[in-house]
Protein backbone atom coordinates (compact mmCIF):
# COMPACT_ATOMS: atom_id res chain seq x y z
CA UNK A 1 0.00 0.00 0.00
CA UNK A 2 1.25 3.51 -0.79
CA UNK A 3 2.30 5.41 2.33
CA UNK A 4 0.20 8.43 1.35
CA UNK A 5 -2.85 6.15 1.22
CA UNK A 6 -2.36 5.46 4.93
CA UNK A 7 -2.06 9.19 5.47
CA UNK A 8 -5.41 9.76 3.77
CA UNK A 9 -7.01 7.38 6.23
CA UNK A 10 -6.87 10.10 8.85
CA UNK A 11 -10.22 11.06 7.33
CA UNK A 12 -11.71 7.84 8.71
CA UNK A 13 -13.53 8.78 11.92
CA UNK A 14 -13.53 5.23 13.25
CA UNK A 15 -12.69 4.84 16.92
CA UNK A 16 -9.95 2.44 15.80
CA UNK A 17 -8.15 5.14 13.80
CA UNK A 18 -5.17 6.26 15.93
CA UNK A 19 -4.17 9.13 13.62
CA UNK A 20 -5.76 12.49 14.38
CA UNK A 21 -3.57 14.80 12.26
CA UNK A 22 -1.85 13.75 9.02
CA UNK A 23 0.30 15.93 6.77
CA UNK A 24 0.96 15.40 3.06
CA UNK A 25 3.69 17.55 1.51
CA UNK A 26 5.71 17.45 -1.69
CA UNK A 27 5.49 18.54 -5.32
CA UNK A 28 2.62 16.29 -6.41
CA UNK A 29 -0.92 17.62 -6.88
CA UNK A 30 -1.86 17.07 -3.25
CA UNK A 31 -5.26 18.71 -3.53
CA UNK A 32 -6.34 16.16 -6.13
CA UNK A 33 -5.12 13.38 -3.87
CA UNK A 34 -6.93 14.82 -0.86
CA UNK A 35 -10.16 15.19 -2.83
CA UNK A 36 -10.40 11.42 -3.21
CA UNK A 37 -10.48 11.06 0.56
CA UNK A 38 -12.87 13.99 0.93
CA UNK A 39 -15.34 12.56 -1.58
CA UNK A 40 -15.16 9.15 0.08
CA UNK A 41 -16.10 10.70 3.41
CA UNK A 42 -18.93 12.72 1.87
CA UNK A 43 -20.18 9.56 0.16
CA UNK A 44 -20.62 8.02 3.60
CA UNK A 45 -23.14 10.74 4.49
CA UNK A 46 -20.67 12.63 6.65
CA UNK A 47 -19.90 16.33 6.46
CA UNK A 48 -16.37 17.45 5.61
CA UNK A 49 -15.00 20.85 6.60
CA UNK A 50 -12.58 22.07 3.92
CA UNK A 51 -10.33 25.09 4.45
CA UNK A 52 -8.65 26.09 1.19
CA UNK A 53 -5.55 28.26 1.39
CA UNK A 54 -4.48 27.92 -2.24
CA UNK A 55 -7.78 28.38 -4.07
CA UNK A 56 -7.27 24.81 -5.27
CA UNK A 57 -10.55 23.10 -4.35
CA UNK A 58 -11.94 21.76 -7.63
CA UNK A 59 -15.71 21.33 -7.57
CA UNK A 60 -15.74 19.94 -11.12
CA UNK A 61 -13.28 17.23 -10.15
CA UNK A 62 -15.39 16.37 -7.10
CA UNK A 63 -18.47 16.12 -9.32
CA UNK A 64 -16.68 13.81 -11.75
CA UNK A 65 -15.50 11.58 -8.92
CA UNK A 66 -19.01 11.43 -7.51
CA UNK A 67 -20.48 10.43 -10.87
CA UNK A 68 -17.75 7.83 -11.34
CA UNK A 69 -18.70 6.29 -8.00
CA UNK A 70 -22.41 6.30 -8.84
CA UNK A 71 -23.37 9.22 -6.59
CA UNK A 72 -25.23 12.45 -7.29
CA UNK A 73 -22.64 15.28 -7.42
CA UNK A 74 -24.98 17.80 -5.82
CA UNK A 75 -25.48 15.50 -2.82
CA UNK A 76 -21.75 15.01 -2.32
CA UNK A 77 -21.02 18.72 -2.73
CA UNK A 78 -23.75 19.61 -0.23
CA UNK A 79 -21.82 17.69 2.44
CA UNK A 80 -18.61 19.64 1.85
CA UNK A 81 -18.44 22.85 3.86
CA UNK A 82 -15.87 24.96 2.00
CA UNK A 83 -14.15 28.12 3.20
CA UNK A 84 -11.39 29.86 1.27
CA UNK A 85 -8.65 32.05 2.73
CA UNK A 86 -6.69 34.53 0.63
CA UNK A 87 -4.36 35.81 3.35
CA UNK A 88 -2.60 34.11 6.24
CA UNK A 89 -4.65 36.22 8.63
CA UNK A 90 -7.88 34.90 7.11
CA UNK A 91 -6.64 31.32 7.39
CA UNK A 92 -5.63 31.86 11.00
CA UNK A 93 -9.06 33.33 11.77
CA UNK A 94 -10.83 30.40 10.11
CA UNK A 95 -8.92 27.81 12.11
CA UNK A 96 -8.52 29.49 15.48
CA UNK A 97 -11.99 31.03 15.80
CA UNK A 98 -14.59 30.02 13.25
CA UNK A 99 -13.89 26.32 12.79
CA UNK A 100 -14.25 25.37 16.43
CA UNK A 101 -17.48 27.35 16.70
CA UNK A 102 -18.95 25.65 13.63
CA UNK A 103 -18.19 22.06 14.67
CA UNK A 104 -20.60 20.39 17.06
CA UNK A 105 -18.66 19.77 20.29
CA UNK A 106 -20.18 16.34 20.93
CA UNK A 107 -19.41 14.82 17.51
CA UNK A 108 -16.10 14.21 15.76
CA UNK A 109 -15.61 16.07 12.51
CA UNK A 110 -13.58 15.49 9.38
CA UNK A 111 -11.40 18.48 8.49
CA UNK A 112 -9.19 19.00 5.43
CA UNK A 113 -6.80 21.96 5.25
CA UNK A 114 -5.73 22.28 1.61
CA UNK A 115 -2.55 24.21 0.75
CA UNK A 116 -2.48 25.35 4.34
CA UNK A 117 0.82 27.24 4.12
CA UNK A 118 0.26 28.92 0.77
CA UNK A 119 -0.74 32.30 2.21
CA UNK A 120 1.92 32.07 4.94
CA UNK A 121 4.60 31.91 2.23
CA UNK A 122 3.65 35.42 1.08
CA UNK A 123 6.87 37.42 1.25
CA UNK A 124 4.86 40.52 2.15
CA UNK A 125 4.23 38.88 5.53
CA UNK A 126 7.13 39.18 7.96
CA UNK A 127 8.66 35.81 8.73
CA UNK A 128 8.27 36.37 12.48
CA UNK A 129 4.55 37.02 12.01
CA UNK A 130 4.15 33.95 9.82
CA UNK A 131 5.90 31.77 12.41
CA UNK A 132 3.71 33.14 15.19
CA UNK A 133 0.53 32.52 13.21
CA UNK A 134 1.52 28.98 12.16
CA UNK A 135 2.33 28.10 15.76
CA UNK A 136 -1.11 29.36 16.79
CA UNK A 137 -2.80 27.46 13.97
CA UNK A 138 -0.90 24.25 14.75
CA UNK A 139 -1.82 24.51 18.43
CA UNK A 140 -5.48 25.03 17.58
CA UNK A 141 -5.51 22.06 15.21
CA UNK A 142 -3.93 20.02 17.99
CA UNK A 143 -6.74 21.04 20.34
CA UNK A 144 -9.35 20.07 17.75
CA UNK A 145 -7.64 16.70 17.26
CA UNK A 146 -7.72 16.02 21.00
CA UNK A 147 -11.48 16.50 20.87
CA UNK A 148 -11.72 13.55 18.46
CA UNK A 149 -11.67 15.38 15.14
CA UNK A 150 -9.66 13.97 12.23
CA UNK A 151 -7.54 16.44 10.28
CA UNK A 152 -5.75 16.12 6.94
CA UNK A 153 -3.30 18.87 5.96
CA UNK A 154 -1.66 19.37 2.57
CA UNK A 155 1.21 21.79 2.04
CA UNK A 156 3.88 22.40 -0.55
CA UNK A 157 7.44 23.41 0.21
CA UNK A 158 8.35 27.10 -0.20
CA UNK A 159 9.80 28.07 -3.56
CA UNK A 160 13.53 28.57 -3.99
CA UNK A 161 13.54 32.25 -3.11
CA UNK A 162 11.75 31.69 0.19
CA UNK A 163 13.70 28.78 1.65
CA UNK A 164 13.87 30.49 5.04
CA UNK A 165 10.14 29.78 5.31
CA UNK A 166 10.82 26.05 5.44
CA UNK A 167 10.51 26.53 9.21
CA UNK A 168 6.75 26.91 8.70
CA UNK A 169 6.51 23.45 7.17
CA UNK A 170 8.69 22.08 9.96
CA UNK A 171 6.21 23.43 12.51
CA UNK A 172 3.38 21.58 10.79
CA UNK A 173 5.42 18.38 10.62
CA UNK A 174 6.00 18.54 14.36
CA UNK A 175 2.26 18.84 15.01
CA UNK A 176 1.18 15.81 12.95
CA UNK A 177 1.06 12.15 13.97
CA UNK A 178 1.79 11.04 10.42
CA UNK A 179 3.83 12.90 7.81
CA UNK A 180 4.34 11.72 4.23
CA UNK A 181 6.15 13.26 1.27
CA UNK A 182 4.40 12.75 -2.07
CA UNK A 183 6.20 13.76 -5.25
CA UNK A 184 5.10 13.64 -8.86
CA UNK A 185 6.50 10.88 -11.10
CA UNK A 186 9.79 11.40 -12.91
CA UNK A 187 9.31 13.49 -16.09
CA UNK A 188 9.46 10.70 -18.67
CA UNK A 189 7.80 11.26 -22.03
CA UNK A 190 4.75 9.29 -20.89
CA UNK A 191 4.58 11.25 -17.66
CA UNK A 192 4.75 14.53 -19.56
CA UNK A 193 1.85 13.41 -21.74
CA UNK A 194 -0.18 12.45 -18.70
CA UNK A 195 0.63 15.75 -16.98
CA UNK A 196 -0.27 17.72 -20.09
CA UNK A 197 -3.66 16.04 -20.20
CA UNK A 198 -4.12 16.68 -16.44
CA UNK A 199 -4.82 12.96 -16.11
CA UNK A 200 -4.83 10.93 -12.90
CA UNK A 201 -4.84 7.18 -13.24
CA UNK A 202 -5.95 4.77 -10.53
CA UNK A 203 -6.38 1.04 -10.13
CA UNK A 204 -10.04 0.43 -10.88
CA UNK A 205 -10.78 -1.90 -7.97
CA UNK A 206 -9.47 0.58 -5.44
CA UNK A 207 -11.25 3.47 -7.11
CA UNK A 208 -14.64 1.77 -6.99
CA UNK A 209 -14.58 0.74 -3.35
CA UNK A 210 -13.24 4.14 -2.35
CA UNK A 211 -10.75 2.93 0.22
CA UNK A 212 -7.25 1.80 -0.71
CA UNK A 213 -6.62 4.49 -3.32
CA UNK A 214 -3.55 3.53 -5.32
CA UNK A 215 -1.76 5.69 -7.88
CA UNK A 216 -0.74 3.97 -11.10
CA UNK A 217 2.15 6.16 -12.20
CA UNK A 218 3.33 6.64 -15.76
CA UNK A 219 5.80 3.75 -15.56
CA UNK A 220 2.91 1.37 -14.89
CA UNK A 221 0.46 2.98 -17.30
CA UNK A 222 0.82 0.56 -20.22
CA UNK A 223 0.80 -2.53 -18.00
CA UNK A 224 -2.36 -1.43 -16.23
CA UNK A 225 -4.00 -0.43 -19.49
CA UNK A 226 -3.39 -3.86 -21.03
CA UNK A 227 -4.89 -5.49 -17.97
CA UNK A 228 -7.97 -3.31 -18.28
CA UNK A 229 -7.58 -2.11 -14.70
CA UNK A 230 -7.47 1.66 -15.04
CA UNK A 231 -9.88 4.50 -15.09
CA UNK A 232 -8.81 7.99 -16.07
CA UNK A 233 -10.33 11.00 -14.37
CA UNK A 234 -10.12 14.33 -16.20
CA UNK A 235 -11.12 17.66 -14.70
CA UNK A 236 -10.64 21.37 -15.22
CA UNK A 237 -10.13 23.71 -12.29
CA UNK A 238 -13.35 24.79 -10.63
CA UNK A 239 -14.20 28.14 -9.13
CA UNK A 240 -16.50 29.66 -6.57
CA UNK A 241 -17.17 28.87 -2.95
CA UNK A 242 -19.70 26.75 -1.14
Residue 191 lies in a domain: no
Residue 125 lies in a domain: yes
Residue 16 lies in a domain: yes
Residue 212 lies in a domain: no
pLDDT along the chain (242 residues), means of 10: 58 61 90 91 90 96 92 94 97 94 81 97 96 98 92 93 94 93 70 37 31 33 31 29 34
Q: Which domain holds residue 133?
A: 3-184
Rounded alpha-carbon distances, angstroms, from residue 138 to 70, 84, 153: 37, 18, 11
> What CATH number did the domain enclosing 67 receive?
3.40.50.300
Residue 216 lies in a domain: no
Tell me the helices (H) and strands (E) count for the chain, helix number first: 11, 8
Residue 71 lies in a domain: yes
Residue 232 lies in a domain: no
**Distance from CA of residue 106 to its chain's centroid?**
25
What is the model's pLDDT at position 195? 39
Backbone angles phi, psi at 61, to 5 degrees: -65, -40
Residue 134 lies in a domain: yes
What pTM does this model have?
0.74
How many domains does the chain contain in total?
A: 1
Amino acid sequence: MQSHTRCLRVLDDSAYNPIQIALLFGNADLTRLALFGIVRVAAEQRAVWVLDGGNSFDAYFVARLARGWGMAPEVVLSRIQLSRAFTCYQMSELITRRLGAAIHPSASATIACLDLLETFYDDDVALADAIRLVRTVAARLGDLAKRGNHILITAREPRAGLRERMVLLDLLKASAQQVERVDAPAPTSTARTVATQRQLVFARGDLVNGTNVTFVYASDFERANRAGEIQACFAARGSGSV
